[in-house]
Amino acid sequence: MILLGRVPNPRMAQAFIDYLFNLDIDCQLRQQQGFELWLVTTDQQQLAQDEFEQFIVNPSHPKYLAASWTNANPQISAVGHSAANVEMLANFISHSGPVTLVTFGVAVVVYLSYLLGFNFVYQALAFFPSLELAQVSQIWRLFTPTLLHFSALHILFNLVMWWYLGGLIENKVSSSKLLVILVLASVFPNIAQYLMTGPAFGGLSGVVYALVGYVWWRNPKVGLYLPPAYIGFMLVWLVMGFFDLMGIKVANGAHVGGLIVGCLLAWFDNKREPNK
């Protein structure tokens, strides 16, 4: 086998493999140092190399897309899809850190317990039925409602935002900072939500708003940035929650509390920065 060259992503590689297949040239994809294209036989080596040079110059040419649509070789397509899945997983992990991943995984496991009918898990993690000194031995209940979700859409939205924003902070600042935000933006917003509506609530959305506030107010020199349109969307969503326009229960106290916690932590870190 002969190495034709390397490309930056598997989707790009698959398009070229499909194109060569239509020319009766057998080419395979391997993930080594990047995504490598290997020519199986040497019969048409020169033609394959010439085509690869043209491909690198203009990989978006319509003929490559057309080849992908007309390719009828399922074995070749499977190679590309497998590599794409590997790339997706690698991107997911590289954008994350231990705090992001562990919280993500625990929230998923807790939600699966809900789907399977293990109600005792939610009962053990829910907020205190009432704030009494006698219940201080179950102090974890101040935090654990953050891990409770009640629908697929609920957990999907929260985990996507947690992964994106939490991973951003963990990579650009530190894991310890994300852990501090997670704890503070769980405990204080959860207390605020309890005072507003009682103990029937849950979800990572308060923490998500803390992450939004932190990234929004943090000094951009640390590498954190959110597009203004994104911040505007989150603020509009926050306000909409107070007017019952969506027909669902919204943890407004946790959202506002989380946003305040995130902004205050960013302000505090910005004030400390000149002294470093």
Show the domains of the chain with their CATH numbers. 2-94 (3.30.70.2350), 98-275 (1.20.1540.10)
Q: For the residues 50-67, what does the mean pLDDT come to? A: 80
Q: For the residues 92-97, what does the mean pLDDT come to? A: 87
Look at phi and psi of residue 167 and say left if phi exceeds 0, alpha if psi is from -120 to 50, else beta. Answer: alpha
* pLDDT top residue among 215 and 57: 215
pLDDT tens digit string along 221-257?
Answer: 899 988 888 899 999 989 988 887 666 778 999 999 9
* pLDDT top residue among 148 and 16: 148
Q: For the residues 92-115, what does the mean pLDDT come to? A: 95
Q: Is 275's pLDDT higher than 80? A: no
For residue 255, indicate whether it is catalytic.
yes
Q: For the residues 196-200, what does the mean pLDDT come to? A: 92
Is 171 in contact with 95 (CB distance < 8 Å)? yes
Q: Name the phi and psi angles at 34, rounded to 5.
A: 90, -150
The per-residue pLDDT for 77 is 46
DSSP helix/strand/coil, 148? coil
The per-residue pLDDT for 83 is 54
Q: For the residues 99-108, what does the mean pLDDT come to? A: 97
- Among the listed residues 68, 96, 186, 205, the single catalytic one is 205
Predicted confidence band of residue 33 (pLDDT cuts 50, 70, 90): low
For residue 205, indicate whether it is catalytic.
yes
- Gap between the Cα atoms of 4 and 176, Å rounded: 45
Q: For the residues 117-140, what does the mean pLDDT come to? A: 89
Q: For the residues 213-219, what does the mean pLDDT come to? A: 95
Answering whether pTM is above 0.75, one says: no
Is 10 in contact with 38 (CB distance < 8 Å)? no
- Gap between the Cα atoms of 78 and 82, Å rounded: 6
